[in-house]
Every structure is written in structure tokens, then in C-alpha cells.
Amino acid sequence: MAEPLLRVDNLVRRFGGIIATDHVCLDVAKGEIHAIIGPNGAGKTTLISQLTGHLAPHAGRIFLGGRDISHFPAYKRSALGLARSFQITSLLTDFTAADNVALAAQAHDGKHSFRFFANARKEKGLRDAARSALERVGLSHRADVLVSKLSHGEQRELELAVALATKPQIMLLDEPMAGLGVTESQRMVKLLAELRNEVSIVLVEHDMEAVFALADRISVLVYGRIIASGKPDEIRQNEEVKRAYLGDQHVVVGHG
């Protein structure tokens, strides 16, 4: 079998006596949407943070395109095509939407940023890249608005535009639907569905409707451990999953 784009091998992370990531193995193929679900406190964000390099694992390895990136700092992983959106929107609030995206493009256009004189807001290449990423998520008309003035839904879309502007091979999306209204959620699902052919996605999400609509595969994380992994239908019928997770959230799934 060909090497998957992202492979996680027996990753372990402890916080004191708690094992937040318990020998997690995971792989994501090219063009795949792999969802990670699990109850609150299951260690989903902890896992994502280790994948992006913001948190060091205590054991185990992470491979991107066959390369061991376990000890790479965050910025190097970004350079290799790993992008992340944050659970709590963490954009640069005193910049405009276009500035946020242009900065991401600036980090990836092959030139360093030790340029002290030329006005970066007038660099055509960066502005064009920003515009096309914003267009992609349907935010072109809001390009010159300060992030602090954008609605929550628009900020989530902007998060995605920023991730896209880094020209990623794989995106780790930490609850992109969090706090979105019904229509906004549907738009986000549609957007992610469109992206599936260009970029692999690891999707951490509580919105089961979205997860089952989008995911090629689903892994279920409970107390730091992956208790099941497979196609959406298999997960839906898995007894252990029903007990451990879907059971106490049957209301959510019932509507799905």
C-alpha cells in the first residue's frame, strides 16, 4: 500500500497522571476527509496540537508524506503543507480580512520576510493570493473589513481562507462549524465538500450531521484512545461507539 499523506504512529501525550493521547494511530490518504469525533475532553484538540507542532508528544511519531516530522517546529510543518484552523477563532483581529490572508500567503511565497522598506500591502502577488482565497470561501466582498468587525460565521470562513492561502496538502480543521447557524453550517459543509479533491482534511467536529455528510472515514476518540475507526456506516453501527459516545448524544444523531 502506498504511504498515506499523514501517518500517526502510537502517539502518546500525558498531562500529569492523565493520558490525553493514548497510543493513537491514524492515517489520512491523499484527498481524504478523515473525521475525528469524540465526547468533550476526549483529547481531540490535544491531538491536533501535536500534529501541528504546538505541543510535543511524549512518545510516538508523526509522518507527513513519509517524512518524520515529529520534532519539527510549527512553522516548518506549515512550510511542508500542513495547515490548521483553530477551534476558537484566533485571527489577527486588528488586521483586515485581506491582511490576514495575505500574511499567510507571504509566509509561503518563497521569499523571506526580512524586508523592511517596501509596503507589503502593495505587493500584487500577495494581494492576488489573498483575493483568490477569499473568493474561494465567499468573502471577497468583506476583504477590507477589520476582523473584529466580521460576524462569527465570517470569521470561521476566514480561518479557512487563511489555511488555504498557505497552499496546504492537508488541513487540520478544529471544529470549523462551532457556533455557526444552520445556514452557515450548510455553507461550510458545501465548501469543505468542494475542497476535498484538492486537499486532505482532518476534521474535528461535534456537528454529527456535517461529519456523516463529509467524512470518508471516521475515528472515534474516547479518553485519548481511538476505540473505532472506519467508514461512516461502520461507525454508526459499531456497538462500542454507540455505548461510549453516540449513546449519550442520541438526540444529536437522532435528527441526523
- Any contact of residue 108 with another protein (CB under 8 A)? yes
CA angle (52, 210, 248) in 5-degree steps: 95
Decide if 58 contacts 141 (C-beta within 8 A).
Answer: no
Query: Among residues 88 and 251, whose Cβ is nearest to another protein?
Result: 88
Contact with another protein (CB under 8 A): which of 90, 151, 237, 249?
A: 90
- Any contact of residue 46 with another protein (CB under 8 A)? no
- Any contact of residue 217 with another protein (CB under 8 A)? no
Alpha-carbon torsion, ordered 198, 201, 207, 210, to 10 deg: 30
Query: Among residues 7 and 84, whose Cβ is nearest to another protein?
Result: 84
Q: At 59, give phi and psi (nearest 5°).
A: -160, 165
- Relative to beta strand 200-204, strand 33-37 is parallel
Q: Give the integer Cα–Cα distance in Å for 10 and 8.
A: 7
Question: Which span (8-16, 35-43, 119-127, 178-186) binds another protein, by CB under 8 A?
Answer: 119-127
- Any contact of residue 185 with another protein (CB under 8 A)? no
Contact with another protein (CB under 8 A): which of 3, 25, 41, 73?
A: 73
- Any contact of residue 88 with another protein (CB under 8 A)? no
- Any contact of residue 249 with another protein (CB under 8 A)? no
Q: Which amino acid is at 131?
A: R
